[in-house]
Amino acid sequence: MPSTSRYLLPWLLMPLLAGCAGHMPWQANEELNQRLARCETRLGTQLELNQSLLLRQEELQADLDVRLDRLEDLLRDNGSTDKANADVACTTPPPGEKVVFGRLEWVSIQGVEKRLKARIDTGAATSSLHAENIVEFERDGKRWVRFTPDKQSGAAALEAPIARYIRIRQASATGTERRPVVTLPVKLGRVTQPAEFSLTDREQMLYPVLLGRNFFMDIALVDVGRKFVESGQRPPPAADDTP
């Protein structure tokens, strides 16, 4: 009987050895690496989705902020901007007649001593004005802003009620920039009327003023091949800083 057990023992151990051989350590490591790779792929996909959702949330929040700002301005200002510009004598071409602007024009802004060179931009809705030392404050329960225009304009600090805010997304930066918008009377040749300006640092730009289409819509055509058409000849060289 003992001799028979000696022969049967290897046969009994073979299934056990076969099972152990089917789960060698190198195979377990490969399976683990595959599972880790699948987890990393799912994690990367989830991170991309989260980033997309975050960017969308920022855009929605920026849009909501703009809407809330406008609503708050309407409730608080109650037409103060229109009252501030009610005494401005507006002059525009007769109905059906349009003036012609070049791609560059000289503009006069109320409160600014010298004329400023403006780039006429049909692609921008709101005009933009170079401003430094921007300080917001409250006056009679309404929001105002104090700022210094272009240094070569000869103007001291100007003050104006804030009409609203806009948010600008810069191509070279993440997020958006919140800028105050003020309404100032502008004269360009035969056209005199209020214009909305967003206040920002335009020191790196060629011109201190960008005049958007809200100012000249329905009253002017733009000839991009010409300069200083409506505003006449350039001022003397001492006042003309850019050829």
Instruction: Assess contact for 152 and 114: CB atoms under 8 A.
Output: yes
Q: Is residue 209 part of a domain?
A: yes
Instruction: Name the pLDDT band for 239 (thresholds 50, 70, 90).
Output: very low
Kindly report the pTM of this predicted structure.
Answer: 0.61
Q: Is residue 70 part of a domain?
A: no
Q: Is residue 76 part of a domain?
A: no
Is 32 in the same domain as 118?
A: no
Q: Is residue 68 part of a domain?
A: no
Q: Is residue 19 part of a domain?
A: yes
Domain count, the chain: 2
**Cα gap 129→188, rounded to integer Å:** 15
Is 108 in the same domain as 157?
A: yes
Is 54 in the same domain as 101?
A: no
Q: Is residue 77 part of a domain?
A: no
> Is the pLDDT assigned to residue 242 strictly greater than 50?
no
The CATH number covering residue 225 comes to 2.40.70.10
Is 43 in the same domain as 119?
A: no
Is 219 in the same domain as 176?
A: yes
Is 132 in the same domain as 203?
A: yes
Q: Is residue 69 part of a domain?
A: no
- What are 179's two structure tokens? 């800028």
- What are 17's two structure tokens? 């050895």
Place of tokens 């309407």: 74
Concatenating the DSSP letter of every residue in 158-205 gives EEEEEEEEEEE--TTSSS-EEEEEEEEEEEETTEEEEEEEEEE--TTS
Least Cα distance to 127 among 218, 187, 213, 193 occurs for 213
> How are beta strands 116-121 and 209-212 bridged, if at all?
parallel
What percentage of the chain carries pLDDT values higher than 90? 36
Is 174 in the same domain as 224?
A: yes
Instruction: Spell 95-117 as b/e; 16+ CB within 10 A means b.
Output: eeeebebbbbbbbbbeebeebbb
What confidence score (pLDDT) does residue 194 get? 94
Q: Is residue 78 part of a domain?
A: no
Instruction: Name the pLDDT band for 112 (thresholds 50, 70, 90).
Output: confident
Domain with 39, as residue range(s), is 2-60
The three state secondary structure string of 86-108 is CCCCCECCCCCCCEEEECEEEEE
- Model pLDDT for residues 148-184, shown as the tens digit of each residue: 987 766 667 899 999 999 887 765 556 678 899 999 9
Instruction: Name the pLDDT band for 236 (thresholds 50, 70, 90).
Output: very low
Is 111 in the same domain as 54?
A: no
What confidence score (pLDDT) does residue 79 get? 47
Instruction: Name the pLDDT band for 109 (thresholds 50, 70, 90).
Output: very high
What confidence score (pLDDT) does residue 13 get? 52
* C-alpha pair distances (Å), 233 with each of 79, 168, 239, 240: 37, 34, 12, 11
- Model pLDDT for residues 182-226, shown as the tens digit of each residue: 999 999 999 999 999 999 988 888 899 999 999 999 899 999 999
Is 105 in the same domain as 176?
A: yes
- Model pLDDT for residues 73-83, shown as the tens digit of each residue: 555 554 444 44
Is 47 in the same domain as 112?
A: no
State whether residue 31 is helix, strand or coil.
helix
What confidence score (pLDDT) does residue 45 get? 87
Is 176 in the same domain as 121?
A: yes
Is 10 in the same domain as 118?
A: no
Residues in the chain: 243
